[in-house]
Structure 1
Amino acid sequence: MVSIITPMFNSEAFISDTIQSILQQTYTNWELILIDDNSNDKTKEIAQSYIKKYANISLIINNKNFGAAISRNKGIDAAKGNFIAFLDADDLWKPEKLEKQITFIKANGCDVCFSSYSLINEAGECLNKQIKALPVLTYKKLLKSNYIGNLTGVYSVKTLGKIKSTNLRKRQDWLLWLAALKKSGKPAQGINESLAFYRVRENAMSSNKLGLLKYNYWVYKKGLKFSTIKSSYFIIRFLFEHFFIKSKQTINEI
């Protein structure tokens, strides 16, 4: 079984579409764990309407806003599956996403799998851009920049146990995948096909270059406990990797 972890905060505009994309999966052996991070809109009510209809959907409600890391970790703690996957409350999966990844993992014996994904705008319209997955991703390469789109990542609980997020407000998903690869000792393997849609939001951190720099520095300094000098060295490496190497992974879709 695959345990799908979806943290939510004021997600009423998108959460129904996100859940529907899971319900439409051709792979049906899954559970969806929704974690509401103290929303003040109708997110909880929408989630509860699905819980009444589907026994494999559950809801955890936070009594205050903890952030994505703690919310994801609550979902991971509750997970019962042999695999854990993540889907944020504004993103979407293509129907064969889980089936293709689980088949790929079993055929290739990898502990961590991810895929390419396509970009949509806030209205759900295709931007005709795709982020290509590297076929093989080592820990050393992942340390330079986050090459795993969190909405596509799947890891094996059977071989790695439950890998949790470090409690940072931003970029905690990068730290989770670094921890998974470090524990695995094997590279992650990427599927070339786009299997998901990432929604580009107007206030997205990736569009804020200064915020991107700050939060990536904290990945090295607070998340990985690197010294100030080592963290500064890695942030320079990150900048080069992000703007001159990783940028080539974004291609135009036909």
Structure 2
Amino acid sequence: MSLVSVVIPTYKRDRVIGKVIRSVLKQTHQNFEILVVDDGSKDNTETVVASLIEEDPRIRYFCHDTNRGAQAARNTGARKARGEWIAFLDSDDYFTPKSLEARLIVAQSESVKVVHSKCLILKEDESMTAYGIPELDGYIYHELLTHYGPLFSGLLVAKEALESVGYLDEQIISYQDWDTVIRLAKHYPFGFVAEPTFIYDCRGNDTISQDLVREAEGYRQVFNKHFFEIVKHLGPRIVAHHYRHIANRYRSAGNQNAARYYHILSFLWWPFRLKTIYRNVQNLVQA
């Protein structure tokens, strides 16, 4: 019955934080503590959490004096965690009832220190669908250098593993889960739970995924941080692959100059693709 510390970073979410916490309280695995880290909210978050602490003393509340970002809030919770295992839950997501149990079973049966899982997406029309998280397990470092995968709310990590990689990088502004799992995968094999263990709520309009400029900057930031490892292990074709993704994100954000710049870098790193495009155009013209 391992103790799991569930870390919930939150900022201005007083309307939903109670439902998020109750999704943890309903777990089939009941040996847990909940660490709510308020990242400087000025709403009623503290009041809502205080009322729940009266019902269940396993809930602990911490508050930053100023808004320092989700990574800083996660780090505060992880460092104060008493559990052998740490699970992260964003303050607009919800655990399924067997979330902790299912991931602990895999962690213990496969003797791994990191587990991730599938999830469901809750859409604006209240419908739910499966999210395409890659089904990766074992030593997946190269796969994660190629593309992003596990999300924070699906992670179960041994606290000693987080400590060994220096906790989370608080400078990353987006794709923070991608950077975290890359750093963990460099040292540890992963386990995988095929059943969804959390619900990813995409109904809000304040999620980071809807900030397209920030998304493009975060992707570029993670790529630049791991650039030399990508070159070393995967070569120029994957570098070009990432530059194309960065270019497409800047285009979606409306920054056409940045999009053109990163498309040029993509072609410079893998010019064979440019030849392929040229041949395809020729074939279309001749047809």
- Aligned sequence identity (%): 23
Assess if the C-alpha contact under 8 Å between 1:8 and 1:37 holds in 2. Answer: yes
Task: Give the structure, 1 or 2, with the largest relative contact order (CA under 8 Å, sep 6 or more).
Answer: 1
Q: Which residue in 2 is equivalent to 1:136?
A: 137
Greater per-residue helix proportion: 2
TM-score by length of 1: 0.83
Residue by residue over 1:208-239, the C-alpha shift from the partner in whole angstroms, topping out at 9 and shown as x without a partner, is 55442221111132x44759x99x98664236
The 1:160–1:166 alpha-carbon spacing in structure 2 relative to 1, beyond 3 Å, is: closer
Q: Which residue in 2 is equivalent to 1:194?
A: 196
CA distance, structure 1, for counterparts of residue 242 and residue 195 of structure 2: 26
The 1:135–1:117 alpha-carbon spacing in structure 2 relative to 1, beyond 3 Å, is: same
CA distance, structure 2, for counterparts of residue 81 and residue 62 of structure 1: 22
Q: Which residue in 2 is equivalent to 1:67?
A: 69
Higher alpha-carbon deviation: 212-221 or 14-23? 212-221
CA distance, structure 2, for counterparts of residue 196 and residue 134 of structure 1: 15
- Aligned residue pairs, count: 236
Matched, 1:173 2:177: yes
Shift of 1:53: 2.1
The 1:149–1:54 alpha-carbon spacing in structure 2 relative to 1, beyond 3 Å, is: same
Higher alpha-carbon deviation: 165-174 or 17-26? 165-174
Shift of 1:15: 0.7
Matched, 1:217 2:220: yes
The 1:155–1:49 alpha-carbon spacing in structure 2 relative to 1, beyond 3 Å, is: same
SS at match of 1:136: coil
Assess if the C-alpha contact under 8 Å between 1:115 and 1:133 holds in 2. Answer: no
Assess if the C-alpha contact under 8 Å between 2:39 and 2:73 holds in 1. Answer: yes
The 4+ residue runs of structure 1 with deviation greater than 6 A are: 239-242
Assess if the C-alpha contact under 8 Å between 1:145 and 1:241 holds in 2. Answer: no
Shift of 1:90: 0.7
Q: Which residue in 1 is equivalent to 2:241?
A: 237
Is there any run of 5+ residues in structure 1 with no aligned partner, and where? 243-254
Q: Which residue in 1 is equivalent to 2:187?
A: 183
CA distance, structure 1, for counterparts of residue 49 and residue 96 of structure 2: 20
SS at match of 1:196: strand
TM-score by length of 2: 0.74
Is there any run of 5+ residues in structure 2 with no aligned partner, and where? 247-287
Shift of 1:106: 0.7
CA distance, structure 2, for counterparts of residue 120 and residue 111 of structure 1: 29
Root-mean-square deviation (Å): 2.7
Residue by residue over 1:118-139, the C-alpha shift from the partner in whole angstroms, topping out at 9 and shown as x without a partner, is 001368x233343344142601
Written as runs of structure 1 = structure 2, the 5 A alignment for 1:1-254 is: 1-121=3-123, 125-136=126-137, 138-158=140-160, 161=163, 163=165, 164-167=167-170, 168-184=172-188, 186=189, 188-200=190-202, 201-221=204-224, 223-224=225-226, 236-238=240-242
Assess if the C-alpha contact under 8 Å between 2:154 and 2:198 holds in 1. Answer: yes
Letter paired with 2:98: E
Shift of 1:63: 0.5
Assess if the C-alpha contact under 8 Å between 2:133 and 2:149 holds in 1. Answer: no
Greater per-residue strand proportion: 1
CA distance, structure 2, for counterparts of residue 60 and residue 225 of structure 1: 36
The 1:37–1:211 alpha-carbon spacing in structure 2 relative to 1, beyond 3 Å, is: closer
Shift of 1:177: 1.6
